[in-house]
Amino acid sequence: MTFLQIMDSSSHVPMVLFFGTIAMLALTIGLIVFIIFHQRRVMRYQMRLQKMEYDQQKMLLNASIKLQEEERQRIAADLHDDAGPLLATARLYLNENLVNLDKTTQLQSIYNAKQIIDDTIQLIRNLSHSLMPPTLKNFGLESAVSDLFQKISSSGSMNASARFHDYRERLQPESELILFRVIQELVNNILKHSNASFIHLTQNTNNNKFFIRLHHDGRGLTQADFDRLNKSSEGLGLKNIQSRVRAVHGKIFFEKDISQTHFKVTIELLKESSMVAP
């Protein structure tokens, strides 16, 4: 190799290093730009998810508020339309002119007023029971649900049964009431819309999880149907169910069973705190 050839080959080395460095810089810059754009896309996606979750939470909150307002209005209407006229009528029988009447008329007026007051007491008792069923308060969720299903089955409209496999420890009273309202709402929906011939409820626990499952053979919902209705302006009852389940930090799932002939609703919640069942 001549001296000129050696000089020529050595002059190519800086050029190779230069272009190699340029290529590495371009690759590094391209990688940085890709990471930045990817992170921005991820952030935009997360923001959309957060907005969707916020919108859904807002919708559920509005549904819960609307449900509470409807319950208050119903109670107010019952008191105004039923209890109010009854007490007003009793007052007529016990007016100031009662002392000027003969004894027989006085006794009859007092008796009529007593009957009306008894009816009013029964009305208020019924309202109180609708807010907190005495069976649920005194004996727990198992007794209240069993009583509900027995009444449905006795009516002849549907074959209904409930079985609790493991309920030695009761949930907290607030959780029991919310769960009972959810079961009532689910059962009412099945009675009104499913055209089912039977409904069966089972309860069991697994480690620290508490499960309620409702099976029926009528028309039902899948999870996709439930999610779609929850995101729409329809399905207020389903939104109420969802908001109540979330109030006890639970989950609810709608599906067809393995046979694809029956529908199943599963409620799952953690047994964070409990009390010994009677």
Region 171-198: mean pLDDT is 87
State yes or no: pLDDT of 236 exceeds 60.
yes
pLDDT class for 38, splitting at 50, 70, 90? confident
pLDDT class for 6, splitting at 50, 70, 90? very low
- pLDDT for 56: 59
- Annotation: CATH topology of 134-276: Heat Shock Protein 90 (3.30.565)
Q: What is the pTM of this model?
A: 0.60
State yes or no: pLDDT of 202 exceeds 90.
yes
| DSSP string for the chain | --HHHHHHHHHHHHHHHHHHHHHHHHHHHHHHHHHHHHHHHHHHHHHHHHHHHHHHHHHHHHHHHHHHHHHHHHHHHHIIIIIHHHHHHHHHHTSGGGGGS-HHHHHHHHHHHHHHHHHHHHHHHHHHHHHS-HHHHHH-HHHHHHHHHHHHHHTTSSEEEEEES--SEEEPHHHHHHHHHHHHHHHHHIIIII--SEEEEEEEEETTEEEEEEEESSS---HHHHHHHHHSS--HHHHHHHHHHHHTT-EEEEEE-TTSSSEEEEEEEE--SEEE--
Residue ranges of the domains in the chain?
A: 67-131, 134-276
pLDDT class for 274, splitting at 50, 70, 90? very low
- pLDDT for 249: 84
- pLDDT for 104: 85
User: Which of 33-42, 75-84, 185-194, 263-272 is predicted least confidently?
Assistant: 75-84
Region 103-114: mean pLDDT is 84
The percent of residues in the chain predicted with pLDDT above 90, rounded, is 12
- pLDDT for 161: 93
